[in-house]
Structure 1
Amino acid sequence: MRIPDEKLAEVFDRGFTVVEGFLDKQTLADAQAGLWDIYPTPEAYFADPAAFAKFTKSQFAGLRFFPYPSWGLNKVPVYPDLIDAAERFLQTKEIDCYKIELWAKYAGAIDYDQTHHRDYENHTIVVPRADQLMPQMTCFILLSDVTELDGPTKAVPLEKTRDIPLGITQTQVGDFCDDEVAVTGPAGSMLIYKTDVFHRGSNFKAPGRSRFVMPVDFKPRGWRWQGKLAWPDRTLNPGWKEAMVNMTPRQRDLFGWPPPGDPYWNAQTLSDVALRYPGIDLTPYGASP
């Protein structure tokens, strides 16, 4: 669904917003099916948690970085309505998708509670601007239903923390617990928030529960002090070539792919990129049909 302007405005005013029903049913179903190429299903996990001891090592043991074996998952971060929202939020079409993750959590694997923190520490080497210029758009796309029982992210509205200097990145344990809002919603919903918003992960409140989300982040192109992942370092991973072949030129551009008309493209690069990515349509870049 196209995100209403008022929802994007809420991110600047409140610090975050939740959009229910963001992914269409087929895209959601394809993404959910792709999860089981990477993670145990909840049924498999809870039938024998000891067989999946790696999830007990840290809160972040369930993180997996883009690309993924399934196009059903790889197409989610380049979902057209997500690109549209990022362009409007960042007020430019010159944007980079600078981080894509999957995050699986299983009840009882480990304590997932966190203190409230700001995410910008590993998204920029400086700090965000208090006047909200030069923002980054960070998102959690829910790939499973998330209720109060499912360890939801809990965010603190900006109005409660505006007096805290941006250089402070964590609060004391227990601070703002009365002000936090649990981010819940059916699968296919999306949380959009800013990197200066205090938020935290919370623990499951019932056994046998699980949570699967896809964090996706965008920034305006050219701001070299922002970022997180280097996509060339991911190109040898399973799923990368299929993703690039299946994407449109606009979607590839989010990863830094040279756009149509760029001086990079000539007879040699067209020929050799076609060899590297069998099946890719390079006609938009100047190749003969």
Structure 2
Amino acid sequence: MVRITDEQIEQWRRDGYVLIPNFLSKEETEAARNGVFEWFSPSWDDYVAAGRKIDKPGVLAFPWDNSGLNKAVLHDDLIDVAERILGTKDIHLRLVRLDEAHLGIKYAGNPSNNSLPDVFHQDWGNNTIGPHHPEDFCSPAFFYCLDDVKPGMAPVQMVKNGLEPNPKNAEKFICPGGSLCIYSTWTWHASSEFEAKEGHRPTMWLGFNRNDRMWEGGRFFTIKATGTRDGWLRAIGEATPRQRELLFLPAVDDEKWTDEMIDGMFKRYGKHGFDPEPYRQAKAKREAQTNGKH
């Protein structure tokens, strides 16, 4: 089932953003949120109990050694809408803003947390080395709200295309946990003031680009560049063949999947969930088709 409609994509094209409430299920939201608290930064209660100090590993970037976080990044319905927006299946995960799919969190009493309120900006400047052409909608960006965002909890605010970027023209995203915002790297947006006396606002930011526009996106990533070693083993091991394509691995029917390649991937990622059978079956099918031509 396609959860994001053509009408919602058209709203994104017209306005520069669209909010999808409850995109993630409750179980998916909880799993990702718990991943934030385990790997990046604590919940509000734990933050207060620790003397308002961060007592977690602080792993900012994809992938994490956590299935809930990684599955939110490589969510099948998220890939589906990216394909429809970009008009092709030949796409990759974009390394957004800080150059990767990454996490953020704000706490009551700590309002800035790396972004000041009401400082409206666009993300194109640090997401492409190409020209500034905002009419080109080939740079969809996304963020998840991983817990309920109530009034006063520094909701992200977006400005519709064509309006002056200021708080009067902005829509603040008061929304349930698991909601998804689709915007563009050309969309003006900002944080807002954390006015509530308690609470946290965890988020995840990511995007996708076409493979024929490799100048877009911050940088390529390897095991050394982002995330953690165990996070990469988990992310690649647990991904589907299609999801691995978003991480620059060949499509399942690509001739690069030789016996040596398949066996090598299984040796490295097998105990983390890598199933070689789809690749072996696709290889056998290619060989049968080739033999049938002779």
Partner Cα separation in structure 2 for residue 22 and residue 213 of structure 1: 14
Paired position in structure 2 for 1:203: 193
* 1:66-118 alpha-carbon deviations (Å, 9 max, x no partner): 01121011101111111111111111111111131111111222433241111
Paired position in structure 2 for 1:72: 68
* 1:176-221 alpha-carbon deviations (Å, 9 max, x no partner): 2211111221001111101111111122011212101111201111
Q: Does 1:12 align with 2:4?
A: no
Alignment of 1:197-236 (within 5 A): 197-232=187-222, 233-234=225-226, 236=228
Please say which of residues 147-156 and 108-117 is displaced more in the overlay: 108-117
Q: TM-score, normalised by structure 1?
A: 0.85
* 1:214-248 alpha-carbon deviations (Å, 9 max, x no partner): 11201111212101242213375332111211111
Alignment of 1:55-66 (within 5 A): 64-66=60-62
Alignment of 1:1-289 (within 5 A): 2-38=3-39, 39-52=41-54, 64-99=60-95, 100-111=101-112, 112-133=116-137, 135-161=138-164, 176-232=166-222, 233-234=225-226, 236-279=228-271, 280-286=274-280
* 1:29-50 alpha-carbon deviations (Å, 9 max, x no partner): 2212222212212101123444
Partner Cα separation in structure 2 for residue 258 and residue 235 of structure 1: 21
The gaps in structure 2 that reach 5 residues or longer are 96-100, 285-294
Query: What RMSD over aligned residues (CA atoms) do the two structures have, in Å?
Result: 2.3
Paired residue secondary structure (2:103):
strand
Partner Cα separation in structure 2 for residue 181 and residue 91 of structure 1: 28
Paired residue secondary structure (2:162):
helix
Paired residue secondary structure (2:63):
coil
CA contact 2:64–2:228 (8 Å) conserved in 1:
no
Paired position in structure 2 for 1:164: none
Give the residue type in structure 1 aligned to 2:83: E
Partner Cα separation in structure 1 for residue 204 and residue 227 of structure 2: 19
CA 1:15–1:29: 2 relative to 1, 3 Å: same
Paired residue secondary structure (2:168):
coil
The gaps in structure 1 that reach 5 residues or longer are 55-61, 162-174
CA contact 1:152–1:183 (8 Å) conserved in 2:
yes
